[in-house]
Amino acid sequence: MSKVSVRGLELAYDDAGAGAAVVLLHGFPFDRSLWREQAAALAATHRVVTPDLRGFGESTVVDEPATMEQMAKDVVALLDELRIERFVLGGLSMGGYVAFALYRLFPRRVRALVLADTRPQGDTDEARAGRETMARRALTEGMRPIADAMLPKLLAPATHAGRPEIVARVREMILATPPAGAAAALRGMALRRDQTDLLPDIIAPTLVLVGGEDAITPPAEAELMRREIRGARLEVMAGAGHCSNLERPEEFNRALGTFLNELEP
């Protein structure tokens, strides 16, 4: 793990391998360890940078709402420090929301996009209200109720039934998240803009990945992104839920590896 001071924060990150850069952004309420299997697989051929977004893992917690744009600027500031100009940008769920914000702000920095278990739309009023309730609960009761509320939806039924080590890993990641960081991100996600209008303007080669049983950002959202982003490729991982990279690492890595190998230098 390394740390860098940017934009008034300490950002923790891992930086593995050498070659063309791939930057992977974790979802909510996780941390960079979400990408352990992808970093291990890709580091043989690529430079893989996995940051803890502000408020998560070992990065600084900021109390104000952590907007997707702020997180995107943090990531670009980190990459500036690392002298990485162009990169493949991947994000899972909230990481995908940050990827959209980053693409809108810095399209020329992005060689290609990987959108995993995410969606372009903003929140409904109901979802926004739910986020505020969850943010308050995190601040008053800690992460346990958040883990209890989210876990059933984060993983596919088969993962819950047959892969206790994945369930435990996701639960531990959630419980290790600073409650104030989670609350800031919930409030930031509630403020995020609808990115649907960006999709037809995306010219970066794009891979969309989704668990066939993702209950949070279901395959219909992935299909929408495939349809609206020119030339996008869609990979549906049967039997996986919202954490498709953890639930189906080999399939996920194969799709990602093939996509990366086919990119123009």
Interface with ligand MLT (CB under 6 A)? 27-28, 93-94, 189, 216, 242
| CB of 28 or CB of 252, closer to ligand MLT | 28
Q: Of the two residues 26 and 226, which places its CB atom closer to ligand MLT in the complex?
A: 26
Per-residue tokens: 100: 């959209």
3-state DSSP of 105-121: HCHHHEEEEEEECCCCC
**Whole-number minimum distance, CB 92 to ligand MLT, in Å?**
7
Report the residue number, 27 or 179, with the smaller CB distance to ligand MLT.
27
User: Could you tell me the smallest distance in angstroms from the CB atom of residue 194 to ligand MLT?
Assistant: 13
Smallest gap from residue 108 Cβ to ligand MLT (A): 26
Q: Pick from 226, 233, 227, 225: which is nearest to 195 by CA?
A: 225
Write b or e for each residue in 152-170: b if 16 or more Cβ atoms lie within 10 A of its Cβ, otherwise e: eebbbeebeeeeeebbebb
The nearer residue to ligand MLT, 79 or 173, going by C-beta atoms, is 173
φ, ψ of residue 239 to 5 degrees: the values are: 85, -5
Q: Could you tell me the two tokens for 38?
A: 């992808």
Q: What is the smallest separation between the CB atom of 237 and ligand MLT, expressed in angstroms?
A: 16
